[in-house]
């Protein structure tokens, strides 16, 4: 009887321990769900407030701002389609008396930057009474500067990085490593230069020359855009179109920008408006929030499952 009693007591202790763990797990899950709900409600509240404030400002004279941040690429957050949609909305607002391009970009693909540039010019023609200014914050280089040139005027901070008027194409070569490893590349193509850019083959001199010619043509297009739209504001400097980057202060001396300022000082002192309304299309925040919540829930469930398993293990 004593042995049976000990076994029963041990089983009761295990059951009690499991019950305690289950109650604790339930309390944690409840708390997590409550916090998640509060977070979502807070987010919705802030969104409603922000949208209401934005709608209120849109009914008053203001500067319409479109942000161009990060790499300008077709699959990136800043791409021609999203920026153009934002630009059209900004220009079409009756109370938007001027449009500001706030730029913080190292550049991107020439095509995407060119599409944004062309759309700004088209909208300027359609809405000739709306002044367009570009404001470079940290970085306005390469394709970022290409877009900035579409503005009637360009402003930057003294320490901004401006310029990089050039074109580049990146690649790697692994032929030396392959030879050391005794690996032979076998590439079959139809067309003499179809394999140009293959990292595992030696480049053909003629193909390299053709690539350089192509890059030079695109570079020439970039240069002509800058010369056409900056005009006699540009200074005669031999390094202007070499791909070099300058500080905002140096860029002012070279005629690449028209003055120093940030979005607020430009809006208030240059454009003479107090209100700035951001028309940049937002990212899909709700989807990202759902993904974060799902990931967190999965992680907590996994941890609590491990805790339950450990608690259920008999003590030795």
Compute the C-alpha angle 67/69/75, nearest 5°: 110
- In the chain, domain spans: 2-45+288-312, 61-274
Q: Are 133 and 111 within 8 A, CB to CB? A: no
Residue 62 CB neighbour total at 10 angstroms: 21
- Tell me which residue of 251, 62, 243, 32 sits closest to 142, measured CA to CA: 243
Spatial separation of the C-alpha atoms in residues 261 and 266, rounded to whole Å = 6
From residue 290, give the alpha-carbon distance in Å to each of 44, 200, 258, 287, 301: 13, 42, 44, 5, 16
Say whether 132 sits in a helix, a strand or coil: strand
Q: Are 43 and 80 within 8 A, CB to CB? A: no
Res 314: pLDDT: 52
pLDDT tens sequence for the chain (316 residues): 566 667 667 667 777 777 776 777 777 777 667 766 676 566 555 544 445 445 567 889 999 999 999 999 998 899 999 999 999 999 999 999 999 999 999 999 999 999 999 999 999 999 999 999 999 999 999 999 999 999 999 999 999 999 999 988 777 777 778 778 788 777 777 877 777 777 777 778 887 888 889 999 999 999 999 999 999 999 999 999 999 999 999 999 999 999 999 999 999 999 999 999 999 988 654 444 554 555 555 555 565 555 455 455 554 5
Q: φ and ψ at 261, to 5 degrees?
A: 165, 160
Q: Which two tokens stand for residue 172?
A: 């790697």
In DSSP terms, which residues pair with 274 in a beta bridge? none
SS3 helix, strand, coil % of the chain, rounded to 5?
Answer: 55, 15, 30
Spatial separation of the C-alpha atoms in residues 152 and 150, rounded to whole Å = 7
- At the topology level, CATH places domain 61-274 in 2-enoyl-CoA Hydratase; Chain A, domain 1 (3.90.226)
């Amino acid at each position: 009887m004593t042995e049976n009693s000990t076994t029963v007591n041990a089983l009761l202790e295990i059951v009690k321990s499991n019950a305690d763990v289950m109650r604790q797990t339930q309390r944690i899950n409840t708390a997590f769900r409550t916090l998640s709900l509060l977070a979502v409600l807070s987010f919705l509240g802030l969104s409603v407030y922000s949208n209401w404030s934005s709608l209120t400002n849109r009914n008053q004279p203001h500067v319409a701002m479109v942000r161009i941040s990060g790499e300008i690429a077709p699959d990136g957050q800043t791409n021609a389609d999203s920026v153009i949609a934002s630009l059209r909305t900004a220009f079409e607002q009756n109370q938007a008396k001027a449009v500001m391009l706030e730029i913080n970009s190292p550049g991107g693909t020439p095509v995407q930057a060119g599409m944004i540039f062309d759309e700004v010019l088209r909208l300027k023609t359609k809405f000739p009474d709306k002044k367009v200014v570009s404001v470079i914050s940290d970085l306005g280089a390469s394709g970022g500067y290409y877009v900035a040139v579409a503005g009637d005027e360009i402003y930057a901070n003294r320490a901004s990085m401006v310029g990089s008027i050039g074109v580049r194409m990146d690649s790697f070569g692994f032929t030396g490593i392959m030879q050391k490893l005794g690996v032979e590349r076998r590439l079959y193509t139809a067309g003499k230069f179809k394999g140009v850019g293959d990292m595992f083959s030696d480049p053909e001199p003629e193909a390299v020359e053709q690539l350089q010619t192509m890059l030079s043509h695109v570079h020439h297009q970039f240069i002509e855009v800058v010369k056409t739209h900056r005009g006699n504001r540009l200074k005669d400097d031999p390094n202007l179109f070499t791909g070099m980057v300058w500080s905002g202060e140096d860029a002012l001396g070279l005629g690449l920008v028209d003055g120093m300022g940030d979005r607020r000082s430009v809006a208030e002192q240059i454009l003479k408006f107090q209100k700035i309304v951001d028309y940049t299309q937002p990212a899909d925040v709700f989807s990202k929030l759902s993904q974060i919540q799902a990931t967190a829930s999965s992680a907590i469930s996994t941890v609590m499952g491990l805790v339950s398993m450990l608690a259920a293990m008999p003590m030795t």
